[in-house]
Chains A and B, each alone.
Chain A
Amino acid sequence: MKLNLKIWRQKNADTKGEMVSYPLNGIEEDMSFLEMLDVLNEQLINKGEEPVEFDHDCREGICGTCSLMINGRAHGPDTRITACQLHMRSFNDGDEIVIEPWRAKAFPVVKDLIVDRSAFDRIQQAGGYISINTSGNPVDANAIPIEKDMADKAFNAATCIGCGACVAACKNASAMLFTSAKVSQFALLPQGQVEAAERVQNMVRQMDLEGFGNCTNTGACEVECPKGISLENIARMNREYLSASVKG
């Protein structure tokens, strides 16, 4: 395959970036998208140029590190996968491929295609946990039966990988899907209900502080989410938030 890549290059957070064109030959259909970038980088290194930096780690769609806007879509043209799971068979010979970092005020660019997603960590730190000590919990795990349907729903919400595609796909750069996934996981489980009100208020407050936009229900986040986290979670978070505010 022959490709024409257009890639965002930016030296660091303080300098301005620009799109740079890179023609690339000899790409095979069985390569993953990131392996295609490996080929480009090997060529750049051999030419004495600086390779394109991008975030990636597990390369099997679970760590949530990779974060590429490919032809205007978070994680590229296929649905329900991350960029690292995308293969070149999804492209055609001669294609132009535009590769950019996530764009959001709350995700500043670190270098080239790498952004700073520490805002997500801070939202979790604000309340994304159940406040029990790890040291010696006396209750047997089977002492709390949980309806399978609820357990499965909590699991589905908990499969969020924190990649940030929801923010990148949203025209408002809202982090509602991300935040609501964690709020929902615990709201659905009896263990999480004790602190539910405090949790949702603290996490939403932090989300707003970080500069994420508001949710206007366009649903783009759900479409682009590689794990298929459902919009129902946002509805559940809104209910949780409302009832927490009423309780005051």
Chain B
Amino acid sequence: MGILDSKIPKGPLADKWTNHKNHIELVNPANKRNIDVIVVGTGLAGGSAAATLAELGYNVKTFCYQDSPRRAHSIAAQGGVNAAKNYQGDGDSVYRLFYDTVKGGDYRSREANVYRLAQVSTNIIDQCVAQGVPFAREYGGLLDNRSFGGVLVSRTFYAKGQTGQQLLLGAYAAMNRQIQRGKIKSHTRHEMLDIVLVDGKARGIIARNLVTGEIERHSAHAVVLATGGYGNLFFLSTYCMGANVMAAWKAHKRGAFFANPCFTQIHPTCIPVSGDHQSKLTLMSESLRNDGRIWVPKRLEDAKAIQEGKLKPTQLKEEDRDYYLERRYPAFGNLVPRDVASRAAKERCDAGFGVNKTGEAVYLDFDSAIMRYGREKALTSGIKDPDNKTVRELGEKVVEAKYGNLFQMYEKIVDQNPYKTPMMIYPAVHYTMGGLWVDYNLQTSIPGCYAAGEANFSDHGANRLGASALMQGLADGYFVLPYTIGDYLSKDIRTGEISTDLPEFEAAETHVKERIAKLMSGKGIHSVDYYHKKLGKIMWNKCGMSRNAKELQEAIDEIAALRADFWENVKVPGTADNKNQELEKAGRVADFLELGELFAKDALTRNESCGGHFREEYQTPEGEALRDDENFKFVSAWEYKGEPKDAVLHKEELVYENIELKTRSYK
């Protein structure tokens, strides 16, 4: 399929990136001043890309729908950021990080991209420390690490349970420095509604000023989309309320291929749903699995008694508990990758062993960690023969120092004290590995349109390992995109400013205005949320943690019907020439109603189980995922052709020259 050129450089894996960088065309500093770049989204990827591009000398315009770049949802990432520093001396290396990531992604990512990611991971930590990001440290003053799911080394750098916040504020600070210098023009409370192509190249965007409702034209020589993932397709997720697929979807409709839409991460440790009123789900960092042990009752009658509130978990004896991850996966235990842990929880709950009212929860228990840490603390504090109460008190303090803010967050939401009774958790939609198809340079199939961070598909295959999202966002933004984009922009040094009076801008603006008018003129029967919740139910029930051909086909038909109903009957109050949150939501849900259909089609096409994509028809007798490398060792890149169900599949064959494909085993 010649249409997809991944542009992976030739040569040995370890030299590809260095050689490639050495041969990238450079833009002379005087010319950079005449080149404009638009960056949409100001999370880790967008913020770091904008700052670096501005430092290099380009004129950058940033756009975010939030009231400040600092509020992008990268801020909510808790656990940490991976880097192959090997500070712990536990045998880590660039190769191991590369290997773990490819294996964790169930062999559906590109070797060359992942290797580059592992290579630049070490620069991220140097960069962030120099910026003043306050990572956790040991008493000796050096950086501390912890371990995460799917790996056997400690390579995760963290700042309590707020690593994303600290990294994002670092990127925000770097942006602020450039805003002050006049090199970045920041547009907040703005939403990109379309991308403008001139002569087939991305040359600008149409944006709506969310305060005034004004539709604005912005031009540039290249457009970078760093707009995050599309998990809000499921209505309930750990995403922020405003997260949407609008920018990526508009680019898709203008010619950018959408890759692997069905690869979604369902995170095992989230706070369970409490009722119909629920608007979002809250993640409990995966780092908790370092110390928490996951279990359900061994006997169905105990599970039933717990569900009915007649039995407390703390009353259940050790031998009556089923630590099912430790039982099924002795080598990795509670630290299996996310997809494996999520499916195992679903399996136990479907079998009736769930531990809350709805039967959709499992325990995450810190009791043994508290006692273990307590005994260690007693020893180092010189307390001889401490009683259990003292050990527990000491242990609780250690656990509080490690996870205090997470425990507090849990208690506020669930109204139970996790130091005294096990936490309840259940899987929830958390991240999307799929996204815009990009080549090695992070360019989409539209020339001049780039995608970075979660918005692209490139590094995580079918399942992302913990603490790799922050790594990828910052790698793309600080260390990859600002250089690869130069190759493209070097051809634009004589172009001059792009005029927003071009007919292409006129046409795109008209298109956007017509769409808004259409959204405002529905018959007014149901609210936007009504449709969003219905879509979410279809997605969760038929395209969620396990999928089958029959239900995926049903999902395709149901979503198409729901979309038609939406456009006919949606109710958007107020006017378009003012701040109007319902109109903002309506535009986003309209896109989800299209993407959902493509998502189901992608899942239906992929007749194998890999990573987060589990097809019930393709599993081993033990219920593990059954990959089909012979027929499905490719990236699905979808080309838009009108209705989502008519999208055309292009396959990028994945080539593994350095890693032998194996059945993923965490046993």
Contacts and interface: CB of A to CB of B under 8 A. Distances in A.
Interface of A: 11-12, 28, 30-32, 34-35, 38-39, 42, 44-46, 48-51, 53, 55-65, 78, 80-81, 85, 87, 89, 110-111, 114, 116-118, 120-121, 124-126, 128-142, 144-148, 151-152, 154-155, 158-159, 161-162, 185-186, 189, 191-192
A162 B579 contact: no
Nearest to A116: B67
Interface stretch (B160-168, B445-453, B617-625): B160-168
> Which residue, A60, A116, A125, has most C-beta atoms of chain B within 10 A?
A60
Interface residues of B, number: 80
B22 interface: no
B501 interface: no
| Shortest Cβ-Cβ A-B pairs, 3 listed | A145-B141, A129-B173, A155-B134
A86 B582 CA distance: 23
B159 A145 contact: no
A130 B128 CA distance: 11
Nearest to A32: B279
Interface string B170-184: 001110110110000
Contacts of A132: 130-131
Majority SS at the chain A contact face = loop
Contacts of B241: 56-59
B75 A121 contact: no
B529 interface: yes
A85 B413 contact: yes
Nearest to B180: A125
Contact of B159 (A111, A135, A144, A155): A155
B48 interface: yes
Given A59-B241, A145-B140, A189-B134, A134 B127 contact: yes
A30 B68 contact: no
Interface in B265-318: 274-275, 277-280, 282-283
Contacts of B386: none
A87 B413 contact: yes
A99 B199 CA distance: 52
Contacts of B75: 58, 62-63
A129 B169 CA distance: 9
Nearest to A146: B141
Contacts of B129: 141, 144, 191
Given A62-B165, A135-B52, A159-B162, A38 B176 contact: no
A118 B68 contact: yes
A62 B75 CA distance: 7
A149 to B, nearest CB: 9
A152 B69 CA distance: 25
B623 to A, nearest CB: 33
B581 interface: yes
A118 B173 contact: no
8 contacts: A55-B67, A58-B75, A125-B177, A129-B176, A129-B177, A130-B132, A148-B141, A186-B132
Contacts of B415: 87, 89
A185 B71 contact: no
A125 B175 CA distance: 8
A142 B136 CA distance: 12
Contact of B68 (A117, A128, A146): A117
Given A121-B176, A140-B126, A148-B141, A129 B68 contact: no
A186 B573 CA distance: 46
A146 B137 contact: yes
B211 interface: yes
